Amino acid sequence: MLSARLLQPPGRQLLSRAPILPPKPLSIPRTRAFHATAPRKDGALDTLLYLPHEMISLMHNYVPWYAALPLTAFLVRGLLVTTAGSYARALTARYIGTHPVRQALAYQKRNELMLRGGYTNPKEAREEIAKAVKAETTALDRRWNCTLRASAAWTLAQIPIFFTMAEVIRQMTGTRDGLLGIIMGTLGLKDKSEVVHGVDLVGNPWFQPSLADEGMLWFPNLLTPDPTLPFAVSALMFANVYFTKNGAPTNPDSMPTFSRVLRLSLMGASLAIGPLCQDLPAALMLYWAGSTSSVMLWNLWLDRKYPSPQGFTACQRPLQVLPASKPDARRPGLGLPMAKAKTVLPQMQGKRRPRRSAAHA
């Protein structure tokens, strides 16, 4: 029979089997998890998109998605047009109205410098004349406050606003790539993903599953791409570029070269939207169609409220009638002004006695 002491393990074996715990860190961890939800990837972007997302969600509280998206586009466009757009269109109309004066000043300054002469070569003459004409027209634009910088800034400011709204709808539909990413994938400039919708469902608090059953007509599901909507958007954009004047001449041949090239480029880009945007979700294309339609409607309102004068028109300001100046010329012999002589001489001739003839005498 074995002794009980042999069955007990020695003390060194107990020490070797005890786990060696690492020392506790002295520094406090900086990241703390308060909820099981995954944190946002880009807090700055989410902060920027918060207000547009809340606006679209507020519209959806009263109407379904197929009406909320175009109505949001109409309201966003109206907010922009009634503030910055009206100011830019007023400046454009004033610039077009003062264009005949601008041309007259340019011709007058050019003829004045050509008659004065004193240039060594034709190149120097062209440079000096162009500099003087530019200074004269710039002074005119400064007096009337009708530069085109506000119009150009208004046009460029609409691009980031549209991409902001498109990014909000992309997150609501759970699409992996944005608008530019999908277009680059279609062109082959980027690896095209096999699944483009419904891939960011995990950890996406802005995903709206109700988009799947609140469509209309032939596109009941707004989460999936629709092959017809991109061509409808393409037709709307082409019509917008073709029919909208924005203060420009009606005849395209009378436009400047830069304006004509820009117009043709925009028309070509609008025709390319149909085949390039086949992978975009129907919700984004529906918002795009509503935005383009809103642009056309609000442009009609701007054309009516701020019309651009075409050609020479009558002045709408009240004319100031100046008092007639008194003539200084005097009639010799009488010492009377001409205006008074016309009234005094007939009276004097009427009072004059007729002369007696010699036979009567």
The full 3-state SS of 161-217, as one line of letters, equals HHHHHHHHHHHHHCCCCCHHHHHHHHHCCCCCCCCCCCCCCCCCCCCCHHHHCCCEC
Is the overall model pTM greater than 0.85, yes or no? no
Vertex 58: Cα angle to 53 and 59 (nearest 5): 100
Least confident of 47-56, 225-234, 260-269, 320-329: 320-329
Which of 125-129, 193-197, 223-227, 269-273 is least confident? 193-197
Tell me the mean pLDDT in the region 263-271: 86
Say how far apart CA 48 and CA 138 lie, in whole Å. Answer: 38
Is the model's pLDDT at 20 over the cut of 70? no
DSSP 280: S
* Residues 164-198: tens digit of each pLDDT: 888 888 888 887 766 655 555 555 555 555 544 55
More confident residue, 54 or 357: 54
pLDDT of residue 71: 92
The number of C-alpha atoms within 13 Å of 155 and in the hemisphere containing its C-beta is 8
Give me the mean pLDDT over the 64-80 stretch: 90
Q: Which residue is it, tokens 């099981």?
A: 36
3-state secondary structure of 3: coil
Contacts of residue 300, Cβ cutoff 8 Å, sequence gap at least 6: none
Structure tokens belonging to residue 209: 């599953």
Burial class (CB in 10 A: 0-12, 13-18, 19+), 220: middle
